[in-house]
């Protein structure tokens, strides 16, 4: 699969990273002589952050090519994404060329944050709005607006690269999310202009309070809880009258003067000027990865999208042994020196065990029937350091499968093949009602013994106790 990215700035570079790290070949056209450097820096951040969201490895990275003209960039493309500046006359010119040169079956999307499809197609272009959010390689939301069949094809492709397509019911200026952002932005400008708060204080109000709630529940579900047991109807009745109070200035806009720009820019410099933009991006990405990984555990918000995408990522075999973990070490697993701490080695072993259990049918459905495995003993050997950003692969061997007892031996490898650790795990299958050992059911036992017979032909692993 090939994606063509037209415009390699912050958004275009993010699109390139999203497709590239999901196994697509990517062609970029941008006349900016600094395009290669800028896209390279975005890719560096993406390679550090996106794989850290997953507990399985993403597909092998695709090939990136930069072109100095449009035609070779869009040739044979399955997806063309325009991310040029927000000037309608420029977009008309670019899309006229894209529509003429791109394959007929290609999805053509525009990253526009404000223009409607009817405006983009006014001169005959075949394009839909595919509006993402920065950083595109991490945040899953893409707003789709335009022809229904075109949007449907786009949605299928976007889910395949781990994104969340939201198709609008009808077109409107600035779509959905930017209209909400604009309301908060306008009110914030007034708060600064009127001396009520600084840029730093406004950001604290968001990130220390409702921003955290919005990340996992959005607006309406948050307010439903605020209504207590009586729910949304009670909340609306209680707070509805406030809609008539002069709490906001949403219908009024402060005059955009040089003095206002200087005031806000100065406060922003005082707030964040001690860090470079790239350092701020890395801080943002680390925080997003941490929050989204928590959300993934509960299947909530953006975490649900990551979890669903992860189930589509394959785990191959390794010298006849199943690969039960293939992932990147996130920065949150490391100490101040960037080394993975000892507890995480055991967590990798636990992830390998959990994946193997799923392979034999010991999953959530089995647990609902009252059965499951519990760990009796772990023996862990540390053999090499692991660091944030490194890829690890675990293969798992069945050493014992008798009655209710199973023994697994996990080997943890670095990307270069170095053996970093081994985890020798003894497990007992129990009936959760009696809390006593009980053999697994027929189908599960059959799958387990199939692995055991195959693995019995292999050498006894070094480091495993007899």
> Quick one: how far is CA 191 from the chain centroid?
33
CATH topology of domain 178-274: 1.10.1040
Q: Round to the nearest angstrom and report the end-to-end CA distance of the chain.
A: 49
**Would you state the structure tokens that stand for residue 77, as one six-digit string?**
């493309």
Q: Are 113 and 178 in contact (CB under 8 A)?
A: yes
Paired with 107 in beta bridges are 79
The boundaries of every CATH 3.40.50.720 domain in the chain are 2-175
Looking at the chain, the domain(s) classified CATH 3.10.129.10 span: 317-456
Which pLDDT belongs to residue 409? 97
368: its two tokens: 């609902």
Name which of 412, 400, 409, 411 is nearest 448 in CA terms: 400
Under DSSP, the state recorded for 150 is H
d(CA 111, CA 132): 6
| Structural tokens at position 253 | 């806009």
Please state the φ and ψ torsions of residue 402, each to the nearest 5 degrees. Answer: -130, 125
Q: Which fold has domain 317-456?
A: Thiol Ester Dehydrase; Chain A (3.10.129)
Q: Kindly report the backbone phi and psi dihedral angles of residue 327, in degrees, each rounded to the nearest multiple of 5, phi listed first.
A: -155, 170
Distance CA 182, CA 159 (A): 27
- pLDDT the model gives residue 242: 73
> Residue 373: beta bridge partners?
429
Tokens of 244: 């008539």
* 61, 113, 213, 226, 367 from 229: Cα distances, Å: 49, 38, 18, 9, 31
DSSP for 325-372?
A: EEEEPPGGGB-TTSBBPHHHHHHHHHHHHHHHHHHHT-SHHHHHTTEE
The tens-digit pLDDT sequence of the chain (466 residues) is 999 999 999 999 999 999 999 999 999 999 999 999 999 999 999 999 999 999 888 999 999 999 999 999 999 999 999 999 999 999 999 999 999 999 999 999 999 999 999 999 999 999 999 999 999 999 999 999 999 999 999 999 999 999 999 999 999 999 999 999 999 999 999 999 999 999 999 999 998 898 988 888 888 888 888 888 888 887 788 777 777 777 777 778 788 888 988 998 899 888 888 988 888 888 889 889 888 988 988 888 899 999 999 989 877 777 789 999 999 998 888 888 889 988 999 999 999 999 998 888 887 777 777 778 888 999 999 999 999 889 999 999 999 988 889 999 999 999 999 999 999 999 998 887 788 888 887 888 899 999 999 999 999 999 888 7
| CA separation for the pair 140, 54 (Å, rounded) | 14
Domain span(s) for CATH 1.10.1040.10 in the chain: 178-274
**What is the distance between the alpha carbons of residues 79 and 67, in angstroms, rounded to a whole number?**
16
Position 149 scores a pLDDT of 95
Torsional class of 403: left (φ above 0), alpha (ψ -120 to 50), beta (otherwise) = left
Q: Which CATH number fits domain 2-175: 3.40.140.10, 3.40.50.720, 3.30.565.10, 3.40.50.360?
A: 3.40.50.720
Strand 164-167, strand 419-431: pairing? unpaired
Question: Residues, the chain, total?
Answer: 466
In angstroms, the CA 367 to CA 358 distance is 11
340: tokens are: 């993975």
Residue 232 CB neighbours (<10 A) = 14
Which pLDDT belongs to residue 423? 96
The confidence score (pLDDT) of residue 459 equals 92
């Amino acid at each position: 699969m090939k994606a063509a990215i037209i415009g390699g700035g912050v958004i275009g570079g993010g699109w390139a990273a999203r497709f590239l790290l999901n196994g697509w070949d990517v062609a970029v056209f941008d006349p900016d002589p600094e395009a290669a450097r800028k896209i390279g820096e975005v890719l560096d951040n993406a390679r550090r952050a996106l794989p850290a969201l997953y507990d399985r490895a993403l597909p092998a990275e695709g090939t990136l090519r930069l072109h100095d003209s449009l035609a070779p960039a869009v040739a044979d493309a399955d997806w063309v994404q325009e991310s040029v500046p927000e000037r309608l006359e420029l977009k008309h010119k670019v899309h006229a060329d894209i529509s003429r040169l791109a394959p007929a079956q290609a999805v053509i999307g525009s990253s526009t944050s404000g223009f409607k499809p009817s405006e983009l197609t006014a001169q005959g272009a075949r394009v839909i709005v595919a509006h993402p959010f920065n950083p595109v390689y991490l945040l899953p939301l893409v707003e789709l607006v335009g022809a229904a069949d075109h949007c449907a094809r786009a949605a299928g492709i976007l889910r395949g690269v781990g994104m969340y397509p939201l198709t609008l019911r009808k077109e409107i200026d600035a779509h959905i999310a930017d209209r909400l952002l604009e309301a908060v932005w306008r009110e914030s400008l007034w708060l600064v202009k009127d001396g009520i708060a600084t840029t730093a204080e406004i950001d604290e109000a968001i990130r220390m309070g409702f921003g955290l709630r919005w990340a996992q529940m959005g607006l309406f579900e948050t307010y439903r809880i605020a209504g207590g047991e009586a729910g949304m109807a009670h909340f609306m009745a209680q707070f509805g009258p406030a809609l008539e109070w002069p709490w906001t200035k949403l219908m009024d806009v402060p005059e955009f003067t040089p003095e206002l720009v200087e005031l806000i820019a100065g406060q922003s410099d005082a707030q964040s000027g001690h860090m470079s933009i790239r350092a701020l991006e890395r801080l943002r990405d680390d925080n997003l990865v941490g929050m989204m990984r928590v959300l993934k555990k509960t299947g909530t918000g953006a975490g649900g999208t990551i979890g669903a995408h992860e189930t589509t990522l394959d785990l191959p075999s390794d010298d006849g042994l199943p690969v039960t973990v293939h992932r990147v070490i996130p920065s949150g697993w490391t100490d101040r020196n960037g080394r993975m701490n000892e507890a995480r080695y055991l967590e990798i072993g636990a992830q390998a065990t959990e994946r193997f259990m799923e392979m034999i049918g010991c999953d959530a459905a089995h647990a609902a029937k009252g059965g499951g495995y519990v760990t009796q003993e772990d023996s862990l050997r540390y053999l090499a350091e692991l660091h944030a950003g490194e890829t690890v692969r675990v293969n798992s061997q069945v050493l014992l499968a008798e009655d209710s007892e199973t023994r697994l031996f996990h080997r943890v490898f670095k990307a270069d093949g170095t053996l970093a650790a081994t985890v020798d795990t003894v497990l007992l299958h129990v009936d959760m009602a009696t809390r006593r050992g009980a053999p697994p059911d027929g189908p599960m036992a059959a799958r387990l013994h199939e692995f055991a017979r195959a693995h019995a032909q292999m050498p006894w692993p070094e480091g495993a106790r007899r």
